[in-house]
Structure 1
Amino acid sequence: MILRPLVPTDLDRICDHRERMFHEAGRDQAQLAEMTASFRIWLEPRLGDGRYFGWMAEQDGQSVGGIGLMVIDWPPHPSHPSDDRRGYVLNVYVEPEWRGQGIAKRLMAAADQAFAARGIDYAILHATAAGRPLYEKLGWSQTSEMAKRLT
């Protein structure tokens, strides 16, 4: 199994992984189709210019998982008082038949290295119930974030 950097031609695969990730987390399929269409429009320029980066895990040329990363603008915070950026991990997905083989762990280690290379020392992610145990084993901790839909 190899990790290779994401390229613009990964657009469809990333969108598929994201939709399947949310479906497995129990989201409504009708909402997912709309979300995926909007996400594709959002992702394409970011994947092309490198604002969205990451890796695809492949075995014998077949995609078996992936991870997306971004560096986001954020005001200095007690957790990163001298930096105005955070790393953001998203779209961590491993094909069901490949789970339990350390692929997500390798993807997360690659994320840590990529952020460190960019001088990022604080990162966030939103975990599904299925992903939370892995992230906790890797040193991630839950924060007090809340959300509200305004419309």
Structure 2
Amino acid sequence: MTITARAVAKHDLKLICEHRERMFAESGRTREALRPMTVAFERWLSPLLDDGSYFGWMLEDAGVVIAGLGMMVIDWPPHPSHPADHRRAYILNVFVEPEHRRRGLARRLMALAEERARELGVGYALLHSTRQGRPLYESLGWGPTSEMAIRWE
């Protein structure tokens, strides 16, 4: 098995959306409840793939995608964690097909993301982790933040 990495492309739009929905479904949400999010996410993501502000990598085995990761550099006010920079790397949509898990693929994708952030001169990154992904991120040195949230309806 030779696994190759390639850049995310416009033709990956539906697959990225599928990975995202499956990721949230594996965290305990129903696919039916996630459908509106997926539809809205596809509309949101399409122009970002076009202009390159959403980028990332797909890992393939014999031309079949088995894992993916998305990344953005987002504008954020200078902060104690990045006092001289107004940017953060944001990693999202990390997904590995179930039959390919526990083989270091997510770790490989995270290394690609770190390498790209360093090339761009972005020294601070964040992500939102599922319970399943937390041990991997912690093993790579990621830690929790003090972020809080509320939903206003």
TM-score (norm 2): 0.97
Q: Does 1:23 align with 2:25?
A: yes
Task: Pick one of 54, 57, 71 that aligns with 2:56.
Answer: 54
What is the CA-CA distance between 1:87 and the residue it aligns to? 0.3
- 1:10-68 per-residue CA deviation (whole Å, 9 max, x = no partner) reads 00110010000000011232221000000000000001110000000100000001000
1:130 aligns with 2:132: yes
Identity of counterpart residues, as a percentage? Answer: 56
**Secondary structure at 1:81's aligned position in 2?**
coil
Q: Name 1:150's counterpart in structure 2.
A: 152
**Aligned match of 2:40:** 38
Cross-structure match for 1:88? 90
Q: Residue in 2 aligned with 1:11? A: 13
Q: Structure 1: which 5+ residue stretches go unaligned?
A: none
Structure 1 residue matching 2:150: 3-state secondary structure: coil
Aligned to 1:113: 115
Aligned length: 151
Report how far residue 77 of structure 1 moved. Answer: 0.3
Pair 1:69 & 2:66 matched: no
Q: Counterparts of 1:39 and 1:105 in 2: how far apart (Å)? A: 25
Distance between the aligned counterparts of 1:3 and 1:106, measured in 2?
9
Partner of 2:103: 101
Distance 1:10 1:62 in 2: 12
TM-score, normalised on structure 1? 0.99
- Secondary structure (helix, strand or coil) at the match of 1:133 reads helix
Unpaired stretches in structure 2, ≥5 consecutive residues: none
Q: For residue 72 of structure 2, what is the amino acid of its counterpart?
A: M
- Give the secondary-structure state (helix, strand or coil) at the position aligned to 1:150: coil
Cα distance in 1 between the residues matched to 2:126 and 2:65: 25
